[in-house]
Amino acid sequence: MRKGIFAVIPVLILLLAAPWGKLMAAASKPTSILSGPLAKLDIKPAQIETARGTSKGTLTVAMHFALDPGWLDPLEHSYAITQQMYDYLVHDTMIKPMPHGYVTYGLAEQAEFAADFRRAAFRLRPGLRFHDGQPLTTADVKWTYENFKGAYASLFHEKLDHIQIVDDRTIVFHFKEPFIDFMDLYNGGVSGIGWIIPKHYYEKVGRDGFKAQPIGAGPYKLVSQQAGVQMVFDAWEEYWRRSPGVKTIVVKGITDLTARMAGLQTGELDLAYGMTGKLLPRLMADRNLRWDPNFTGPWWLMFPGYNEPGSPFRDKRVRQAISLSINRQFLVKQETQGIGKPWGNWISPENRDALQGADAPVPEYNVEKAKQLMAQAGVPEGFEVEYLPFPPYFDMGERVLTDLRAIGIRGKLQSLEGPAFRAKIGQGRKGIPGNRTIVQNIDPRAGGAKANVAVYAVCGSPSSFVCEPQIEALWTKHQASLDAPERERLIKAIQRILIDEHYLVPLYWNPFVHAVGPRVRPEGEAFHRYWDTLNAPYPWPWEVWEVKADK
């Protein structure tokens, strides 16, 4: 009898273990949302810290702009990357760039993209809530998409056929036609549509009310704000990924570089942006302060109307001579204390598919050769130009003009305020009259190299500065292609033409230096980890920041 019992027990165990094992397997491998073949996605898992610490201390941050409450509302997300700093504070997105990957899971724990690029599906992680305690569901995801009015909104709306809510956690976007760029654009690092807004709250307080007192699902809650001046955020301890390290984040809009520097030195600021410039040597010499180079994008020169009759830049040899005449090494030393890197492409190497290294070597500095080319182009004496530098980098403009003078190009520098300059660039060729202007620009845009090409180097863009049949043909092919390797090859081929033909002349990879005070932890050089997120000109995510506790 006893033997019989012993014989039955293993059998029972086996019988029970079989379905349990199936359950375990199902739990570890999420069930598929979409039927049919799927496109391959490279989305890194979220790094969730299960041990929840206590938030402490105050981090006071100085932005170099006046603050806009509109930045707190992702529904009207602008094209400006600045807004993402606030997205990462108050809100959270389905997928987003993080230090451990350019595309990582955020609110979504699973994403799928049909192989024909006509359907995309997401599954939200369980138990998500907004700051007011209300659950975050697929109804909010759908409402956010449908009510989004910001950058790329028309593209998202035109492509959408309908949104299917499978359940509170599962949602499927159905598109009218293949939308291969959807996952790129839906990424929180590129557009605002993936940052989820609480439908119930927005409908209750309205557009102005939301900007004045937004709530979201991000690691910080807005406590108070004075438009243009200051915003105060408090840690939201229930944030799903981890408890924020800092208890209070105060963001101040301080446009004056001297004031930011003084604030760091007196300890009134812990983190300040935009410290590149005349005060950089002082910053580097101060033992109490630390700085991160924060490489953003490369500087480049462009020639509006280069392909029009009468433009001296119509001749490739002139554009090449300009490139040859610039002493990039010296420029970097003067402008950035040697931190910047002379560069051979106008697109940030952090952007996917950007040519770099041996594919885009730093252009040589050879004034004699440049002079020969000018002579061959029929302008040995040079000519006069207008020079339009990106504000407030006027000193850099003067230095470039000094180099150009060596080959006879005499320039008059135009200094515009930032918004006025951006307005001109936004209008592309039309924004800059005449065809004897050299523009010095920078654009650390996320979304892959194709995003930069789409803005500056194709005929149909409102901000187009290059319009070439050869590039157009490649671009049309790229837009029609549903094959990722082919798209990469095409976008690289376009860059090859832009560089080889000197339509855009790269200068150097710019460090947009940020500085921190002594209260920022960790001490020593480990603080550079805050700038690990790719394609991020600001040090997000915010929940990982730590400071010494307030006295």
Partner 1 sequence: MRKYILIRAVYSVVTLWLLVTIIFGLVRLTGDPVTMKAEAGADAAYIAQLRHNWGLDQPLYRQYTSYIGNLLLGDFGHSFGKSLPVKTIYLERLPNSLKLGFAAFVISLVLGIPLGMLSALRVNTWWDSVGKTIALLGLSMPGFFVGLVLIIVFGVQLHWLPVLGKGASAFIWSNPSTWVPFWFKDWSHLAMPAFALGWYFAGAMLRITRSGMLDVLDSDYIKLVRLKGVPEQVVIAKHALKNSMIPVLTLAGLNLLIMVNVAVVIEVIFNWPGVGQLLYDGLSNRDFPMVQGVVLMSGVMIVVLNFVIDVLYGYVDPRIRLSR
- How many Å is the maximal CA-CA distance in the chain? 112
Orientation of helix 449-456 relative to helix 469-480, angle to 10°: 130
Residue 182 to residue 159: CA distance in whole angstroms: 9
Contact flag: residue 425 with partner 1 (CB under 8 A): yes
Element (H, E) at 258: helix 257-266
Residue 243 to residue 245: CA distance in whole angstroms: 6
3-class SS at 303? coil
First to last CA, the chain: 74
Residue 364 to residue 325: CA distance in whole angstroms: 9
Binding mask 92-131 for partner 1 (x = CB under 8 A): ----------------------------------------
3-class SS at 531? helix
Min CB(427)–partner 1 separation in Å: 6
Q: Which of 13, 26, 229, 480 binds partner 1 (CB under 8 A)?
A: 229
175: nearest Cα among 154, 195, 192, 156? 156
Angle at Cα 348 formed by Cα 295 and Cα 84, nearest 5°?
A: 70
Min CB(158)–partner 1 separation in Å: 9
Q: Where are any strands of DSSP class E within 331-489?
A: 341-342, 383-389, 409-413, 437-442
Min CB(236)–partner 1 separation in Å: 23
Contacts (CB under 8 A) with partner 1, residues 454-493: 454-456, 461-463
Contact flag: residue 419 with partner 1 (CB under 8 A): yes
Min CB(52)–partner 1 separation in Å: 30
Contact at 8 Å (CB) between 148 and 156? yes
Contact flag: residue 415 with partner 1 (CB under 8 A): no
Min CB(322)–partner 1 separation in Å: 22
- Nearest residue (CB) to partner 1, 66 versus 484: 66
Give the burial class of 231: count Cβ atoms within 10 A of its Cβ; 0-12 exposed, 13-18 middle, 19 or more buried.
Answer: buried
Taking CA atoms, 398 is separated from 80, 389, 415, 419, in Å, by 27, 9, 11, 21
Min CB(69)–partner 1 separation in Å: 5
Min CB(452)–partner 1 separation in Å: 9
Contacts (CB under 8 A) with partner 1, residues 80-99: 80
Contact flag: residue 427 with partner 1 (CB under 8 A): yes
Give the burial class of 14: count Cβ atoms within 10 A of its Cβ; 0-12 exposed, 13-18 middle, 19 or more buried.
Answer: exposed
Angle at Cα 398 formed by Cα 516 and Cα 375, nearest 5°?
A: 135
Contact flag: residue 265 with partner 1 (CB under 8 A): yes
Residue 473 to residue 109: CA distance in whole angstroms: 39
- Nearest residue (CB) to partner 1, 46 versus 72: 72
Count other Cβ atoms within 10 Å, centred on residue 229.
Answer: 12
- Nearest residue (CB) to partner 1, 151 versus 271: 151
Min CB(266)–partner 1 separation in Å: 5
Contact flag: residue 79 with partner 1 (CB under 8 A): yes
Q: Which of 115, 165, 205, 259 binds partner 1 (CB under 8 A)?
A: 259
**Residue listed under structure tokens 């860059």:** 495
Contact flag: residue 288 with partner 1 (CB under 8 A): no
Residue 71 to residue 53: CA distance in whole angstroms: 29
Contact flag: residue 146 with partner 1 (CB under 8 A): no
Stretch of residues binding partner 1 (CB under 8 A), selected from 98-106, 137-145, 250-258, 315-323: 250-258
- Nearest residue (CB) to partner 1, 227 versus 375: 227
Contact flag: residue 211 with partner 1 (CB under 8 A): yes
Stretch of residues binding partner 1 (CB under 8 A), selected from 150-158, 301-309, 353-361, 512-520: 150-158
Pairing of strands 295-302, 437-442: antiparallel
Contact flag: residue 414 with partner 1 (CB under 8 A): no
Contact at 8 Å (CB) between 185 and 191? yes
Residue 390 to residue 298: CA distance in whole angstroms: 12
Q: Which of 39, 70, 134, 548 binds partner 1 (CB under 8 A)?
A: 70
Q: Which of 44, 125, 129, 149 binds partner 1 (CB under 8 A)?
A: 149
Contact flag: residue 66 with partner 1 (CB under 8 A): yes
Q: Which of 151, 190, 401, 439 binds partner 1 (CB under 8 A)?
A: 151
Q: Which of 57, 74, 150, 408 binds partner 1 (CB under 8 A)?
A: 150
Contacts (CB under 8 A) with partner 1, residues 40-59: none
What is the total count of residues that contact partner 1 (CB under 8 A)?
A: 58
Contact flag: residue 443 with partner 1 (CB under 8 A): yes
Contact flag: residue 400 with partner 1 (CB under 8 A): no
CB within 8 A of 156, min separation 6: which ones? 145, 148, 185, 191, 193
What DSSP line would sit under 305-367, residue for residue? TTTSTT-GGGSHHHHHHHHHH--HHHHHHHHHTT-SEE-S-SS-TTSTT---GGGSPPPP--H
Min CB(258)–partner 1 separation in Å: 6
Contacts (CB under 8 A) with partner 1, residues 181-210: 208
Min CB(201)–partner 1 separation in Å: 17
Stretch of residues binding partner 1 (CB under 8 A), selected from 146-154, 328-336, 488-496, 516-524: 146-154
Min CB(279)–partner 1 separation in Å: 12
What DSSP line would sit under 118-187, residue for residue? SEEEEEEPTT-B-TTSPBP-HHHHHHHHHH--STTHHHHHHHEEEEEE-SSSEEEEEESS--TTHHHHHS
Residues that bind partner 1 in the complex, under the rule CB under 8 A = 66-70, 73, 78-80, 149-155, 208, 211-212, 226-230, 252-256, 258-259, 262-263, 265-266, 268-269, 417-420, 422-428, 431, 443, 445, 451, 454-456, 461-463
